[in-house]
Amino acid sequence: MQREQLERRPVAANGAGRPAGHHMSGDASVYRQFAPPAVHYPEKTMPAAAAPLNLDLPPARQGFRWPAEWERHAATWLSWPHKEASWPGRLDEIPPVFAEMIRLLAPGEEVSVNVVDDAMAADIRARLERLGVPPQRVRFFSIPHDDAWIRDHGPIFLTRQLAGGHGGCPAAATETAIETATETAIVDWGYNAWGGKYPPFAQDDAVPRGIGTELGLPVFAAPMILEGGSVDGNGCGTVLTTESCLLNPNRNPHLDRAGIERNLRDYLGAKRVLWLGAGIAGDDTDGHVDDLARFTAARTVVTVVEADPADVNYQPLQDNLARLRSMTDQDGAPLEVVSLPMPPAVEYDGQRLPASYANFYIGNQVILLPTFACPQDEPARAILQRLFPQRCIAGVDARALVWGLGAFHCLTQQQPSAG
């Protein structure tokens, strides 16, 4: 763990003076302006029509919800990698993986890419041209960033139904559910690089407001530090998280479990919060849930399980499995829990890395599945194919990526469709 404690990724103030950038369309020139019990909450009523927004009032109280990842996207967001300390000695292997991610995602949705300068944008365009990616499927935004982990430093997008929308939970309807008409907003959580581990991070902390400015979306400032990889939701009000991360005093020492749940209710629309225990070996995030367990449908959770009792991950993952089997969703219905294998231990330069099949990303047409050139790759792919029969499961070699201590879910952020 010595490398990540020193290199990858002090607690700075949020909000004021955050820079914004101007977007750059795919084939246009680049423009710059860098200037253990669950808690069940009462059901909220969605508005019948759009009401004026009050950015000082939490969004869930104004009818916003956090859509499930499998609901229709307008775009997937990336922050292009450029920090050598995140992949020491292997940074040159990472841009080709990002380009492949874009190639796979672009047929089903627009890909929005944050870049730091003209040269970076030009290099990406050349890579994508060689792969045959239509330039109109990719938009570039000149939003400065310190690191590539946009799941954690980027915005979380919310939606609320407008007049004429159907009732019920859209995420429960189909694998590709979409609301008929919605309004979109952004939640800007505080960000301190996983408990202050990897300064500098001021530019990363500013990314959500930069994206909000570019898209012309309202931005709600949440009163706590939270990374997107530390929570997972079913789109209907149930949120998964871990005690090892959200209760860690290096994030929000002033908040207890009840205070954190209150903020998840107010800013993500959580009606029930499900707490797992600890994360996997090698994870420098203190146990992000997106390496452990993920919703794949409104009442279905896939969770990684280690087969070897001698492995350090065996007991923590058994504990998480037992918790999930006893948990219920926001309506009190039991979860369907599906086991996903773990790959054999992945090590590099003597360091155990957080390799996990749970760190997949759900695109409109494709699932990006990290693979590790091992026999477990195919069973993991087959399980996800059963869970997502309408999508292609694209296994992509993640052995270089995971040297940065993350994979595809850590490196993406979905922007839901507005209908």
> Long-range pairs for 46-49 at CB < 8 Å and ≥24 separation?
46/160, 46/161, 46/165, 46/167, 47/160, 47/161, 47/162, 48/163, 49/162, 49/163
Residue 369 bridge partners (DSSP) = 395
pLDDT for 27 equals 32
SS3 assignment for 24-49: EECCCCCCCCCCCCCEECCCCCCCCC
Query: Are the C-beta atoms of residues 177 and 70 closer than 8 Å to each other?
Result: yes
Q: Which stretches in the chain have pLDDT values below 50?
A: 1-48
Helix axes 118-130, 94-105, angle to 10 degrees: 60
Interacting residues of 278 by C-beta distance below 8 A, sequence separation 6+: 242, 243, 244, 287, 316, 319, 320
Interacting residues of 154 by C-beta distance below 8 A, sequence separation 6+: 77, 79, 207, 208, 211, 228, 413
pLDDT for 33 equals 28
What would the pLDDT profile of 72-106 be if each residue is shown by its tens digit? 999 999 999 999 999 999 999 999 999 999 999 99
pLDDT for 171 equals 79
Q: pTM (2 decimals)?
A: 0.88
* Beta-sheet pairing, 23-25 with 73-79: unpaired
pLDDT for 45 equals 43
List Cα–Cα distances, 116 to 124, 204, 207, in angstroms.
Answer: 12, 12, 12
Say how far apart CA 348 and CA 224 lie, in whole Å: 34
pLDDT for 290 equals 98
Q: Give the residue ranges of DSSP H helices in 269-376.
A: 314-325
Three-state secondary structure call for residue 295:
strand
Three-state secondary structure call for residue 153:
helix
Q: What structural domains and CATH numbers belong to the chain?
A: 2-35+59-416 (3.75.10.10)
Interacting residues of 126 by C-beta distance below 8 A, sequence separation 6+: none
pLDDT for 258 equals 98
Say how far apart CA 213 and CA 286 lie, in whole Å: 31
Q: What is the dihedral of CA 72, 75, 76, 77, to 10 degrees?
A: -140
Radius of gyration of the chain (CA): 20
* Cβ-based neighbour number of residue 139 at 10 Å: 18
The tokens for 136 are 């109109």
pLDDT for 16 equals 32
What would the pLDDT profile of 347-376 be if each residue is shown by its tens digit? 999 999 999 999 999 999 999 999 999 999
Residue 200: cis peptide before it, omega within 30 degrees of 0: yes
pLDDT for 314 equals 98
Residues that are catalytic:
410
